[in-house]
Homo-oligomer: A and B are copies of this chain.
Amino acid sequence: MQNVNRRVVLASRPKGYPQASDFRLEEEPIRDPDPGSALVRTHYLSLDPYMRMRLSDAPSYVPPIAIGEVIVGGIVGEVVRSNTDAFTVGDIVEGRLGWQEYGMARADTARKVPFPDIQISTALGILGMPGMTAFFGLLEIGKPIAGDTVVVSAASGAVGAIVGQIAKLNGCRVVGIAGSDKKVAYVIDELGFDAGINHRSTEDMGAALDAACPNGIDVYFDNVGGPITDAVMARLGFRARVVICGQISQYNLETPPQTPSVLRPLLIKQARMEGFIVGSFQAKFEEGRTRIAQWIRDGKLKYREDITDGIENAPEQFSELLRGHNFGKKLIRMFPDA
């Protein structure tokens, strides 16, 4: 085992899209775990859009990361030294241990990965935060019923792909919006969505939505915000439900543009729009994971990962993610043997 931990800290608050200079790769000696802690060798680091909000000091639902602090991020890894009864050397654990090759886990910051028959990287994706986000956001906030038309943005992404598949399992018609023809083909051909729209090549989003949703839109699961969302809002059906999960198109804007008000469409359609954070459903995560794991085993849910090697590539890959250049759940593999 190496005796140096490489980690990425925040060097400066990004303006717009994060730059390489906003991050700094540091090395520190690997410490022995304090009592109550275990040293974890990171296998996979999760890159997720919400992290962009934590790099900023604008008001958000989470406090900002301080300058010089390790970037927040979920990881899966293996316990290599333990100073707690909670973990044994060799345990595979998941927790928000940050952008570093070695992190410290405590019983209240990490958990053992529960399904040994499923790839451990899924603890960061379909069986982790993005999977829980899709499951509870769609089912508890969107409340789809069979026959509903469900539109999901960032449809091939870590959350969107699961949202659409769970909506299909619930008997819905599913329309995915994504940023390339390849992604649109994937959600239709591989994931079974009913229709897809490439928002980068479509000149008239409104007309494309009208064509894809002839019976109106009952549920909109929004990961992006911006003009795509504006076009959807103008086409809501009666008693539609809008799940605000993410606003990736807005995170890197210094001054968000003005938009058409959504209040009138919500009023005249008696529709509901609701923001949610997956942590609110923490008490039910075990239920969600169990259901999703069974769907994976039964071949009813598919997932796709987009993996890059080496922590030194994390800042650039994070910026690529924010630009929508990933294709599936974005992960950094820390060591070639993971």
Contacts and interface: CB of A to CB of B under 8 A. Distances in A.
Nearest to A238: B61
Interface stretch (A6-14, A64-72, A113-121, A275-283): A275-283
A222 B263 contact: yes
The winner among A260, A268, A269, A272 for most chain B CB atoms within 10 A is A268
Contacts of A263: 222, 225, 229, 244, 247, 250, 262, 273, 275
A201 interface: no
A75 B73 CA distance: 62
Contacts of A268: 53, 59-61, 275
B259 A266 contact: no
B261 A256 contact: yes
A182 B205 CA distance: 48
Contacts of A146: none
Interface string A233-252: 00000000000111100100
A273 B270 contact: no
Counting contact residues on chain A (CB < 8 A from B), the size range is 35 or more
Interface string A18-33: 0000000000000000
Contacts of A60: 268
A260 B256 CA distance: 8
Contacts of A61: 267-270
Number of copies of this chain in the oligomer? 2
Contact of A275 (B246, B269, B274, B277): B269
Contacts of A257: 258
A195 interface: no
A283 to B, nearest CB: 15
Contacts of A245: 267
A101 to B, nearest CB: 32
Interface string A210-232: 00000000000010010001000
A271 interface: yes
A272 B265 CA distance: 15
Contacts of A259: 258-261
28 contacts: A53-B268, A59-B268, A61-B269, A61-B270, A222-B263, A225-B263, A244-B267, A247-B264, A247-B267, A250-B263, A256-B261, A257-B258, A258-B258, A258-B261, A259-B260, A261-B262, A262-B263, A265-B275, A266-B274, A267-B275, A267-B276, A267-B277, A268-B275, A270-B276, A270-B280, A271-B274, A272-B272, A272-B274
Interface of A: 53, 59-61, 222, 225, 229, 244-247, 250, 256-277, 280
Nearest 8 Cβ contacts at the A-B interface: A258-B258, A267-B275, A266-B275, A272-B274, A61-B268, A244-B267, A259-B261, A273-B273
